[in-house]
Amino acid sequence: MSRPERVVRELVGAHGRTYAEEAGIGLKDTPQPLYRLLVLSHLLSARIRGSIALATARALHEAGLRDPRRMAQASWQQRVDALGRGGYRRYDERTATQLGDAAELLSERWGGDLRRLRREADGNISELRRLLQEFPGIGPAGADIFLREAQGVWPEAAPYLDAKALQGAERLDLPKDPERLTELAGDTDPAVLAAALVRAAVDKEVAEDTLRRAG
């Protein structure tokens, strides 16, 4: 086994957990999990600790704001309160407005079902990324997060290793070519590989520990 293969094996073995899984989202190609992933992507894309974004995604779910209809019907204050319970206080007021507006857009344009947005893109990943950015609060970073995580259930997007994932590869002295990285990862779900690489990018200790264990 080559050193790059050992590095990938050690990384995935210790940190191969998607952000959706960590947020308690059992991701499937069905409306509610996909919507919860959209919300999580919105939260993770802000300049805030990932642990707070994950806790806030769980708090929104616990508050019943788990689909676009409930999110749109909730009052602005209810959304602010749920965001606050997750610790998402720095951006709570703006985010509460954006979540409401995004839920309304999803309901009105795509019937509350992100699979319809996927069909509109018709396999064009650039178009899919553009459509995702029509949601208030979802910019390029949010669209990248969504596609990194969704590639397990939307395989036409795979391998989706964006700039943040490739930053992790660089920190680990791995190739920065997505196809080569997926070859090194073998049968690892590309969404799991992407999440592990992102963790190496955002946490220097993850990268150092992985390199040490790989020998």
Average pLDDT of adjacent 10-residue blocks, the chain of 215 residues: 94 96 97 98 93 96 97 97 92 94 98 98 97 98 98 95 97 95 95 97 96 93
What is the structure's pLDDT at 150?
A: 98
Burial of 87 (0-12, 13-18, 19+ CB in 10 A): middle
The pLDDT value given to residue 103: 98
Q: Note the pLDDT of residue 1.
A: 81
Residue the block writes with tokens 């993850």: 206
Contact 86, 55 (CB under 8 A): yes
Looking at residue 20, its pLDDT comes to: 97
- Beta strands per DSSP E along 32-143: none
Say what the pLDDT of residue 135 is: 98
CA atoms in the 13 A half-sphere facing the CB of 145: 24
Query: Closest by alpha carbon to 53, among 170, 134, 137?
Result: 137
Q: What pLDDT was estimated at residue 92? A: 85
pTM across the whole model: 0.95
Q: What is the model's pLDDT at position 27?
A: 96
